[in-house]
C-alpha cells in the first residue's frame, strides 16, 4: 500500500514538474525554487481518536512527583463532534495514586511542521465550572524548547472553544510536543471533577491580531551584575486578541524571542534568554539595555544591566547567581505563624511573607541537605530590600539576626534592628548594612541562618535582593 501511494505521488510530482517545465519554458533558475525538506503538517491531534501520536497517546508527568495516571481516557458518551472525546478525571489532592493529573501528547514521528498554523484550538467542557491549571503545547519531555502554556483555563459546563495562540509559528518547523495539560483541584477546594476535550488541533485562524509580547512581565527593570555573571530574563509572555475580541496571554519559552543588547561591550543574551555580563563597558558606559521581540514585534519590558565589580555572595536575587539555600521559610513549629516564601510577582522573583512573627532563611545543610554554610569573611556588607505590604508605624521593627555555626555548640549570632521609621508602606526600601553593625557577630566564616523577627508589628513583608558583598 505504502509503495503504491508513493508511486502515485511520484507520478503526480512528475506530471506537475512536466507541466511546470512546459509553463516556465526556458526558465533556468529552477535551483532557486528548491525547498528544504519539511516535516508533515498534520493539524489534527484528536478528533474521535488520537491522530499520529505515540502509542502511549498520553504520557503522564512523573508519578513520583504526585501525577495520577489513572484518570485519563476517552469517552464514547460525550463528544463535541463525532463520537468520542478525551475524558480527564481530576483526582483529589489526597488520592493515594497521585493528587493531580497531567502530561503530554507527543507526535509519533520526527515532529510536525506547524509553521502554517497560528493557534492550538480545542473544545472543552467541565463537570463543573472548574479551572484547568495549565494547558499548552511544545513540551516533548526532551527539549521543551518551544513550550507555550496558558494558566487557569476556566471551564464551562457547556462545550466551549479555546484558543492558544502560537507566538511565532515560523519557529515550529519540527515540533513533537502536541499538547500538555496539568490539572488539580485548586479551583474546586479539593473536590475532584471531570473535563472533556474534543477536536484538538492546530489551526490557521487568521482572526488573531494585536500581538503583544512581553519580557520581565512588561516592566522596565534594572540590575547590577558582575562581569562573567549571568542572569535569566524571566516573565516571558505573549498576548494576542482573538476574533471575539478577547485577549489571551500565554507564557512562552525564550526561544520564541529574539533578544538584543544595546551595548555588546557590557552584555550579551543567549537564545535561551540568559544575559551574560561580558565586560565593564567602554568609555565609561557600563550599561546595556536588553530588549526583545517576537516575529518582529517589540516586546514590552526591558532590563538595563549595569556591569559592576563587587564580590558577591547572593542568597536571593534575580541579578546574581544565588548560592544554594535550604529554604526561604524554615517553618519553626510550634511558635512560628509566618506563611509564605519565594514567589514570582509579575516576572520578578521575590520573597513574600504573611502573618509574620518571625521567620528564617536557612543555608546550613538542614536535615543533611548538603547545603554548605556561607563563608562571608571577605564580605563587608549585607544588601537587602524590604517592602512592607501594610501600614508602617514608627514603633514597628524588624530584628535581624545572622547565625554563625548555626545549630552547632559553638554557634554565635549577631543582631541588627531596622526601625519602622526607615521602612515604607508598599514601597521597596534598600539597605546596605555593614556586617560590623551586627552586634555580637564575632565570626562569619560559617553563616547558616538569617532570622527576621517582627513580633507581629509587621505582618505582611516582602524581601528581595539579599546578598553579601565587598566593594572591590
Partner 1 sequence: MNFKNKIKSKSFQLVCSLLVVITIGAIALSCNPDETQDVTNFNNLTMQDEFNVDGAPNNAMWTYNIGTGDNGWGNGELQYYTDRPENVVVEDGMLKITAIQEDFEGSGYTSARILTKGLFEQQYGRFEARMKLPFGKGMWPAFWLLGANIQEGPEDPDNPATVVWPLCGEIDIMENGGSKPTIISGAVHGPGYSGGNAISKEYAFENSRVDEFHIYGIEWGPNYINYYVDDVLYNQIKPDDVTGDWVFNNGPFFIIINLAVGGAFDGNPNANTVFPQEMLVDYVRVYSAN
**Which residues lie near partner 1 (CB under 8 A)?**
204-210, 241, 243-245, 247
Nearest approach, Cβ of residue 170 and partner 1 (Å): 18
**Cβ closer to partner 1: 43 or 205?**
205
Grid coordinates in use for 186?
485548586
Strands 237-241 and 247-252: antiparallel
Q: Is-contact 300 307, C-beta < 8 A? A: no
Tell the burial category of 443 from Cβ atoms under 10 Å away from its Cβ (0-12, 13-18, 19+): middle
**Cβ closer to partner 1: 163 or 400?**
163
**Cβ closer to partner 1: 82 or 243?**
243
Tell the burial category of 266 from Cβ atoms under 10 Å away from its Cβ (0-12, 13-18, 19+): buried
Nearest approach, Cβ of residue 243 and partner 1 (Å): 4
Sign (positive/negative) of CA torsion 163, 168, 173, 174?
A: negative
**Cβ closer to partner 1: 157 or 210?**
210
Nearest approach, Cβ of residue 350 and partner 1 (Å): 25
**Cβ closer to partner 1: 208 or 315?**
208
**Cβ closer to partner 1: 245 or 296?**
245
Sign (positive/negative) of CA torsion 168, 172, 178, 183?
A: negative
**Cβ closer to partner 1: 160 or 212?**
212
Cα–Cα distance, 88 to 102 (Å, whole number): 9
Sign (positive/negative) of CA torsion 54, 58, 64, 65?
A: positive
Tell the burial category of 277 from Cβ atoms under 10 Å away from its Cβ (0-12, 13-18, 19+): buried
Nearest approach, Cβ of residue 245 and partner 1 (Å): 5
**Cβ closer to partner 1: 92 or 249?**
249
Nearest approach, Cβ of residue 251 and partner 1 (Å): 19
Query: DSSP character for 218?
Result: G
| Secondary structure class of 372 (helix, strand, coil) | coil
Nearest approach, Cβ of residue 44 and partner 1 (Å): 19
Q: How many CA atoms lie within 13 A of 351 on its CB side?
A: 24
Nearest approach, Cβ of residue 241 and partner 1 (Å): 6
Nearest approach, Cβ of residue 249 and partner 1 (Å): 11
Strands 267-269 and 274-277: antiparallel
Amino acid at each position: 500500500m505504502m509503495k503504491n501511494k508513493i508511486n502515485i505521488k511520484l507520478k503526480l510530482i512528475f506530471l506537475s514538474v512536466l507541466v511546470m517545465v512546459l509553463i516556465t519554458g526556458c526558465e533556468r533558475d529552477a535551483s532557486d525554487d528548491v525547498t528544504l525538506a519539511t516535516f508533515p503538517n498534520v493539524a489534527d491531534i484528536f478528533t474521535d481518536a488520537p491522530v499520529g501520536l505515540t502509542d502511549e497517546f498520553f504520557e503522564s508527568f512523573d508519578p513520583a512527583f504526585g501525577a495520577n495516571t489513572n484518570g485519563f481516557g476517552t469517552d464514547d458518551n460525550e463528544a463535541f463532534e463525532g463520537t468520542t472525546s478525551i475524558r480527564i478525571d481530576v483526582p483529589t489532592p489526597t488520592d493515594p495514586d497521585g493528587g493531580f493529573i497531567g502530561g503530554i501528547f507527543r507526535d509519533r514521528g520526527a515532529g510536525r511542521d506547524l509553521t502554517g498554523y497560528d493557534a492550538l484550538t480545542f473544545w472543552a467542557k467541565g463537570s463543573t465550572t472548574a479551572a484547568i491549571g495549565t494547558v499548552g503545547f511544545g513540551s516533548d519531555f526532551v527539549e521543551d524548547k518551544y513550550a507555550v502554556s496558558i494558566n487557569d483555563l476556566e471551564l464551562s459546563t457547556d462545550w466551549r472553544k479555546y484558543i492558544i495562540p502560537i507566538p511565532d509559528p515560523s519557529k515550529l518547523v519540527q515540533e513533537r510536543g502536541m499538547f500538555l495539560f496539568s490539572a488539580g483541584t485548586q479551583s474546586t477546594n479539593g473536590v475532584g471533577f471531570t473535563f472533556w476535550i474534543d477536536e484538538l488541533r492546530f489551526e490557521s485562524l487568521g482572526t488573531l491580531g494585536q500581538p503583544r509580547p512581553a519580557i520581565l512581565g512588561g516592566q522596565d527593570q534594572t540590575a547590577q551584575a558582575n562581569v562573567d555573571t549571568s542572569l535569566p530574563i524571566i516573565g516571558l509572555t505573549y498576548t494576542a486578541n482573538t476574533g471575539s475580541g478577547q485577549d489571551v496571554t500565554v507564557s512562552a519559552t525564550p526561544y520564541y524571542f529574539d533578544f538584543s543588547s544595546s551595548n555588546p561591550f557590557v552584555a550579551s543574551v543567549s537564545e535561551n534568554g540568559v544575559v551574560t555580563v561580558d565586560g565593564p563597558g567602554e568609555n565609561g558606559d557600563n550599561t546595556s539595555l536588553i530588549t526583545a521581540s517576537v516575529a518582529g514585534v517589540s516586546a514590552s519590558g526591558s532590563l538595563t544591566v549595569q556591569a559592576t565589580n563587587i564580590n558577591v555572595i547572593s542568597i536571593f536575587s534575580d541579578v546574581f547567581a544565588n548560592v544554594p539555600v535550604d529554604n526561604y521559610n524554615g517553618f519553626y513549629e510550634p511558635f512560628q505563624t509566618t506563611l509564605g516564601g519565594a514567589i514570582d510577582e509579575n516576572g520578578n522573583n521575590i520573597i513574600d511573607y504573611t502573618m509574620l512573627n518571625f521567620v528564617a532563611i536557612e543555608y546550613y545543610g538542614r536535615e543533611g541537605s548538603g547545603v554548605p554554610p556561607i563563608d562571608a569573611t571577605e564580605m563587608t556588607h549585607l544588601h537587602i530590600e524590604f517592602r512592607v505590604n501594610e501600614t508602617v508605624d514608627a514603633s514597628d521593627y524588624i530584628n535581624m539576626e545572622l547565625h554563625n555555626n548555626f545549630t552547632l555548640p559553638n554557634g554565635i549570632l549577631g543582631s541588627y534592628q531596622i526601625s519602622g521609621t526607615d521602612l515604607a508602606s508598599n514601597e521597596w526600601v534598600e539597605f546596605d548594612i555593614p556586617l560590623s553593625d551586627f552586634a555580637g557577630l564575632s565570626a562569619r566564616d560559617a553563616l547558616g541562618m538569617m532570622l527576621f523577627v517582627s513580633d507581629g508589628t509587621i505582618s505582611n513583608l516582602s524581601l528581595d535582593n539579599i546578598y553579601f558583598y565587598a566593594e572591590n
